[in-house]
Amino acid sequence: MKHYSKPKKDIWQGRVTNKSLYLHEKVKYTPLEEIPEPPKKSIALLGYACDEGIKRNQGRIGAVKGPETIKTSFGKLPNHLPSTVQLYDAGSITCKNEDMEAAQNALSKAVTTLLDNKQFPIVLGGGHDVAYGHYHGIKNYLDSKKEGQTIGIINFDAHFDLRKNTDNNNSGTPFYQIAMESQKEDSNFNYLCLGIRKDANDRSLFQTAKDLDVNFILSDTFQIEFLDEINTWIHAFIKTVDKVYVTIDMDGFSSAYAPGVSAPSPMGFTPQIVLECLKAIIGSGKLISLDLAEMNPKYDIDGQTAKLAASLIHYVAHNLFPTNGTV
C-alpha cells in the first residue's frame, strides 16, 4: 500500500515479566492485510501519521509523530485484558507528498478491513482530519451489510470542526464535509459535541452548528458536577442511532493535562468527565470504533499528553473487554 507503514516492533518496550503483565508483551505486530479474523472480537491499533490537515488549518505541526508516541506509552501500561482477546498493532496510514485526501482514503479502506475482520479499531492521529477517513471506513462497512444502520458521531472537543471547505479540506473541516455528504444522500447528520468552548469557535461556526442541527454541550456545562444531566443527553442521542463512532480531540483537554497538542488552552475539560462519559457510551453496546486526534509530541512535557492518550485507550479497551476474573 502506498500510504501505509508496517508496525514497528522497537516502539513496544517496557518492563519484561514473560507473563504478559504489560501490554507491550501482549501486542502482536501484524501488518494490516495479515490480521486474521479471530473467534472473538479483538482490538487493532492503527496510526494515522498525518498532520497535513493541521498545516492547512494554520495549526502547529508535529502530530505526524503522535501515533508511534502514543503506542510507546500504551505499551508500558499493565495488561488486564482476557487472554482470549487479541491486541494488534496494525501499523500506520501515512501521508505522502502532502496528499491528505489519499491518506484519508487509505484510512477508510483500512478501517473497513479491520471491521470486516471482527476487530475493534482504535485509530491514533494525526490531525482531526482523521475523522473524515475513519467515518467513511465505518460507513462503507455498514453499507456493505445492507441493513441501513445509522452512525452517530460523538466528538470530545473544544472545536466544532465545522469549517467550510471552500478553499481546501483540513483538520477543521471533517464534520462539515460529512454533513454536506449526508445532505446529498438525504440522510441525517447525527453529531454530538462535548466540551465546546465559546473562545475557540467564532459566531459563524455556532451558526453552522445551528443550521446543521448539531447537538452540543458547552465547556462550562461539561463538568463532573453535571454528569447526570450530561449522561441523559448522551443516552438520548445514542437512542437515535444504531452505531456510535467516538472521536477524542486531545486539544479539548485543559493544557494542564494535555500540553502536547496542536491548539492548547488551559480552559479545556478534565480527564475525569471524559472517562465517565466513555463509560456511558461503552455501556450502550453501540460503540463501533474510536480515535484520538491532535496529539503533538513536539510540544509535550514529560510525555504527559502521550500518557493521557494511552490511559484513555487503556480505559476503553478494558471496559470493552473486561477480564471477568481471568487474564
Q: Tens digit of pLDDT for each residue in 192-240? A: 999 999 999 999 999 999 999 999 999 999 999 999 999 999 999 999 9
Place of cell 479491520: 114
Residue 326 domain-assigned?
no
pLDDT tens digits for 133-173?
Answer: 999 999 999 999 988 899 999 999 999 999 999 989 999 99
Residue 160 domain-assigned?
yes
Q: In the predicted model, is pLDDT for residue 275 greater than 90?
A: yes
Residue 95 domain-assigned?
yes
Residue 138 domain-assigned?
yes
What is the total count of domains within the chain? 1
What cell does 180 get?
Answer: 454536506
With cut-offs at 50, 70 and 90, classify the pLDDT of residue 76: very high
Q: 151-156 and 42-49: which strand pairing?
A: unpaired
The domain in which residue 77 lies consists of 4-320
The overall pTM is greater than 0.75: yes
Amino acid sitting at position 203? R
Find out whether 143 is annotated in a ligand binding site: no
Residue 246 domain-assigned?
yes
Find out whether 80 is annotated in a ligand binding site: no
- Confidence (pLDDT) at 307: 98
Find out whether 318 is annotated in a ligand binding site: no
Q: How far apart are CA 286 and CA 277, in angstroms?
A: 14
Residue 327 domain-assigned?
no
- Confidence (pLDDT) at 324: 63
Residue 158 domain-assigned?
yes
- Confidence (pLDDT) at 1: 78
105, burial (CB in 10 Å: exposed 0-12, middle 13-18, buried 19+): middle
311, burial (CB in 10 Å: exposed 0-12, middle 13-18, buried 19+): middle
Residue 47 domain-assigned?
yes
What cell does 212 get?
Answer: 446543521
Amino acid sitting at position 90? A
Find out whether 129 is annotated in a ligand binding site: no
Find out whether 199 is annotated in a ligand binding site: no
CATH number at residue 29: 3.40.800.10
Q: How far apart are CA 90 and CA 112, in angstroms?
A: 13
